Structure formats: structure tokens, C-alpha cells
Chain A
């Protein structure tokens, strides 16, 4: 078993995954093509249900591949699954540890499963690095959420993997713990030279942590690049407009600097070169008493996603329903 140094940490070629059979099946991954260089932090950004976790399951060998191929650390995920699993670490969205065991015993079990013989020194180093040395003999059920997360990352690093998968590593964490985890992800990458593939639906997380990222929606990679490359794709501000009645789109489209006017849900999304120049012209061109709300979004990963998919990464549907509900309430009062 030789390590394939110099090859991409992860490469997928037309990777597809379908759950269920026939017409009622769900295509969770649709011809995904990714090349992730070694020693990078790569982010997979997308809303819930976009296929992020499925991609991790397929790459770690937990789920079968329906079509296409993938390599991790240079080994074929399908044909050389054991070689892949000896070279990867995994940090779950929900912390998964044996609560009946101490921190040290969890590390011991991981060492046994990875068939490590000289693991104690490394385990102690990791416990010290993550400030868990004093509590290593305590049952992990007595650990705080942050400590549990740190131990899980220590488990993932114990066998010196080439790639670590982190599935929504900060979901459900408070702001302080999330910041701590961001520092850990950056530190782990630098200290241990490991490739990190993390999934997230937090824009700011992807922006802060990732060297490169791919935006995934409905199982398809719709864009990839560095955060600044992706932001540069949207050479525009997005103006979101909610009107009580319809919008006279030919009038708005005729305003200088407008690149595109398109409906987005019940609202309107207007791409403009400069929102500062556009807004006074807009207010002069349409009846202002019909404007319910105007918001401006400067180029960000959120606007990239909005621009590419016409929707937001966060929970958009319920929000729109609430707005409709408020609109109905206003009409009922008037």
C-alpha cells in the first residue's frame, strides 16, 4: 500500500448518487466534478438537502456510488475502500463519541480500529494541543460541547490522515464555540498539514475558513473557486424589492446601470452596477407608495448563491411565508 503523494487529495469524475430506484428515486448527487488539491481547506457550501452530506458519505465509503468515480488520497473510493478509510478522518455534524468511555478510551478504541501500535505519544500530543489533557480520564458524557467537538477532531487526527471530512462542523454551536472551532480548523490545517473538506451552510464560515469552495445546490456543483473569485463573478449589487402591486419591469429595466430584472419568489431581484446610483433613479421612476421593502446586497457569497440559484442558502421558504402572512394581516387591518 503506497501513498500517492502529489495527486489531488480528492477528485471526483461525474459522480452521481441516487437514493431509491426508478422515477421515485432521488438524485442526491448529479455528475459532481471536483478536484481538491492537497493541504487545502475546501468548503462545500449549500443549503440543507443540497447533497453535501451525501457527498461525504460517498467519499468515505458509507454510501455506494451510483455512477461516475472518485478518488481520495489517490485511492479509488469503490475499489480501494479500506486504503481510503485508513487515510481519512471524519468529524460528524452531531458529535459521535462513546459516552460510556473516557476521552483516553475513545482514543484507544480509535487506535484499535485504525490498527495503530505507536499511538499513545501522538494521543497525548493531541490532548495537549486541544487542552484536554487534564480531563482525559473523565467520561466524555461529562465533557462540554466544545470539549466533545475537540475530542472528535483529535480522534479524526490520531492516525495522521491525509484528508479530514468535517460535516457541518459548527452546526448547533453557540457563537463562542463556533469561533473556537474556526480557530481549530485553521490551526489543524496548518499544524498537521492535512486537507480539510468541510461542508457548511453558513456563508461567513465558508468565507472565513476555505481556500477554495464549491457551491452545491440540488446535487449539482454550480460554481467553484476561491471565495474572492466567486465574489468577483457577481460584478453587481443586488437590489431586492417587495412591491404591494406588480412592478413595471420595462420602466425599471430602462434605468441606466440595470443589468437584469427578474422575479424572485414574490419579490423582484434587480442586478445593478451600482446601487448608490440606481436607488435615487428607481425611486423617481416607480410609485414609491407601492414599495413595501427595499434591500441592497453587496457582492458576497450569499449574492453569488442568490445570483446563481435565485434563492438564499438559509431557510428562505418559511421566511417568505411569514412575509405573506404579515402582508395579509396588513391588508386585513386596512
Chain B
């Protein structure tokens, strides 16, 4: 017999992941949404001269610059799906079914957060393939590939934990959407996900300099564009992930509402 926590985590985690992979519509949206970012937003600089792109973005292809940023911002939305799944469980009573077993509220939180982050990882190969179609070359070492995926996974864990902590006391369907809008917009634009921060006003640069999306985008970009790698970014993202996980753990133990 395995440890109760491991068995319970595995059951709940597998449920999170299997439910997503069995829902073709959710899978389609998960994959298509970031792809649309690349296709529409990435093409908005399509006719800009290469010298201008080189000067502004340090890349001859804007999509090459944009890809690590869009992958980072899409880790924001996986948190929303995680908290929606929790609210669904509360509304349909499944949370009671789970809790009338020896499973703890904290464990439900951890399996939801890691389940949501796993869902987020699905976007990575699809986006890479799309970027290849748009003419982006990839010359990463295996270590860089692993580090990039790890950075995105840390980011997804951090944001899904944050979303789950905020929505833990709620049973309202609308809450994840409202929270998502509230958090996503400032975090996405006050980062280097879409544009370099050099032209930001000072206050936006201040936000960007502590925004985990910035660190993930910069790390990914250093891999994709072959720039010097600052490995401390990965450490920062790990601290963000485990910090948020610890906060969400404590919040869920105290405030996770059952119904």
C-alpha cells in the first residue's frame, strides 16, 4: 500500500489530466488560442523592414521574439482553467465526494495546481511546431529545451496556484473569468512577453522587472535567439512556483469552500 497522500494525489491528478484530454473541444481551444496569437499578433509586424525588427527586437522575425513571450502568457490562462475545474467540482458536489474520504483540502489544491500546469505544457510542442511553420529556426541544446520547459512549468504552477488560492472560497462560475481578466491584462503588458521593456515608462519597467512572465520570456528568448543565458531566471521562477504553491496550500487548508 502506497502512502495515502501519494495515492490520493495520483487519483486526483490523473482525473484532472484525463478529463482534459478526453474533451476534444477543450483540447482544441487550448491549442488554437496561442496559435492564433502567433498567427495574428505575430504577423502584425509582417511588412516591417528586417533592419527595424533587428533594432527593436534583436530578431529578424517578430514571431521568433514573440514565441517565448506568448508561451509564457498562455501559462496564465491555464490557471483560469484550473480554478474553473475546482468551481465545477464544488457546484456539482464532487468536492463533497472527494472530501468524504480521508483526502485533505490541501491535497486537492496541489493536484489541481499541478494538473492545470500539466495541461499548460500541451501548448508547448504545438506552438513550437507552429513557429517552425512560420519560419522560426530552433538550435537549442537538450539542456536548454529541458530548462525552457521547466521554466514554463514553474510559471504555470505559480499562476495556477495563485488563481486557485484567489478562487478557493468561491463557488461562482464567473469568478475565475473576472480574476483572470483582472490579473492577465496588467501582467501580460507589464512584461517583456510582447515587447522589449526598453521603451516602457519607469513604472511599467518596475512592474516588469519583478514580473515572472518577464523572467520566463527572457529565458526562453535567450534560448531561441542564441543570446547569453542568465540561469538565475530559472531560480527566480522556481521560487515563484514554490512560493505560490505554499501560499495556495495554506489558503486551501483554511478557506477552500466545499459547496
A60, B2: Cβ atoms closer than 8 Å: no
**A: contact size bracket:** 20 to 34
Q: Which residues of A contact B100 (CB under 8 A)?
A: 60-62, 85, 88, 90
Q: Is B73 an interface residue (CB 8 A)?
A: no
A133 nearest CB across to chain B (Å): 22
Q: Is B8 an interface residue (CB 8 A)?
A: yes
Q: Is A324 an interface residue (CB 8 A)?
A: no
Q: Is A109 an interface residue (CB 8 A)?
A: yes
Q: Is A114 an interface residue (CB 8 A)?
A: yes
Q: Which residues of A contact B103 (CB under 8 A)?
A: 113
Question: A115 with B102: in contact, given A94-B93, A96-B97 (CB under 8 Å)?
Answer: yes
Q: How far is the CA of A100 from the CA of B18 in the complex (A)?
A: 9
Question: A115 with B4: in contact, given A85-B102, A109-B15, A110-B101 (CB under 8 Å)?
Answer: yes
Q: How far is the CA of A85 from the CA of B97 in the complex (A)?
A: 11
Q: Is A235 an interface residue (CB 8 A)?
A: no
B96, A98: Cβ atoms closer than 8 Å: no
Interface hits, B100-127 → A, CB 8 Å: 100-104
B231 nearest CB across to chain A (Å): 38
Q: Name the residue on A nearest B9 (C-beta).
A: A112
Interface hits, A69-123 → B, CB 8 Å: 82-83, 85-86, 88, 90, 92, 94, 96, 98, 100-101, 108-115, 117
Q: How far is the CA of A248 from the CA of B96 in the complex (A)?
A: 55
Number of B residues near A (Cβ < 8 Å) is 29
A62, B11: Cβ atoms closer than 8 Å: no
| A109, A111, A114: most-surrounded residue (chain B CB, <10 A) | A109
Q: Which residues of A contact B97 (CB under 8 A)?
A: 90, 92, 96, 155
Q: How far is the CA of A109 from the CA of B8 in the complex (A)?
A: 8
Q: Name the residue on A nearest B103 (C-beta).
A: A113
| A83, A98, A101, A117: most-surrounded residue (chain B CB, <10 A) | A98
Question: A114 with B94: in contact, given A62-B258, A109-B11, A109-B15 (CB under 8 Å)?
Answer: no
Q: Which residues of B contact A62 (CB under 8 A)?
A: 96, 99-100, 258-259
Q: How far is the CA of A98 from the CA of B97 in the complex (A)?
A: 10
Q: Name the residue on A nearest B258 (C-beta).
A: A62
Q: Which residues of B contact A85 (CB under 8 A)?
A: 99-102
Q: Which residues of A contact B4 (CB under 8 A)?
A: 115
Q: How far is the CA of A57 from the CA of B177 in the complex (A)?
A: 30
A117, B96: Cβ atoms closer than 8 Å: no
| A82, A90, A98, A113: most-surrounded residue (chain B CB, <10 A) | A113
Q: Is B181 an interface residue (CB 8 A)?
A: no
B258, A96: Cβ atoms closer than 8 Å: no
B227 nearest CB across to chain A (Å): 44
Q: How far is the CA of A60 from the CA of B99 in the complex (A)?
A: 9
Q: Which residues of B contact A96 (CB under 8 A)?
A: 92-94, 96-97
B2, A115: Cβ atoms closer than 8 Å: yes
B93 nearest CB across to chain A (Å): 4
B19, A100: Cβ atoms closer than 8 Å: yes
User: Contacting B8 at CB < 8 Å: which of A108, A115, A117?
Assistant: A115
A106 nearest CB across to chain B (Å): 10
Q: Which residues of A contact B92 (CB under 8 A)?
A: 96
Q: How far is the CA of A109 from the CA of B99 in the complex (A)?
A: 13
Q: Which residues of B contact A117 (CB under 8 A)?
A: 1-2
Q: How far is the CA of A155 from the CA of B96 in the complex (A)?
A: 14
Interface hits, B1-51 → A, CB 8 Å: 1-4, 7-8, 10-12, 14-15, 18-19, 22-23
Q: Which residues of B contact A83 (CB under 8 A)?
A: 102
Q: How far is the CA of A114 from the CA of B97 in the complex (A)?
A: 11
Q: How far is the CA of A98 from the CA of B103 in the complex (A)?
A: 17
A113, B11: Cβ atoms closer than 8 Å: yes
Q: How far is the CA of A113 from the CA of B104 in the complex (A)?
A: 10
Q: Which residues of B contact A82 (CB under 8 A)?
A: 102, 104
Q: Name the residue on A nearest B107 (C-beta).
A: A113
A53 nearest CB across to chain B (Å): 11
Q: Identify 15 new A-B residue pairs, CB closer than 8 A, beyond the known A98-B19, A100-B19.
A: A62-B258, A82-B102, A85-B102, A86-B102, A88-B100, A96-B94, A98-B15, A108-B11, A110-B101, A113-B7, A113-B8, A115-B1, A115-B3, A115-B4, A115-B8
The 6 closest A-B pairs by CB, nearest first: A112-B11, A113-B101, A115-B4, A96-B93, A90-B100, A115-B7
Some 28 contacts from A to B, beta carbons below 8 A apart, are A62-B100, A83-B102, A85-B99, A85-B100, A85-B101, A90-B100, A96-B92, A96-B94, A96-B97, A100-B23, A101-B15, A109-B15, A111-B11, A112-B10, A112-B12, A112-B14, A113-B8, A113-B11, A113-B12, A113-B101, A113-B102, A114-B102, A115-B1, A115-B2, A115-B4, A115-B102, A117-B1, A155-B97
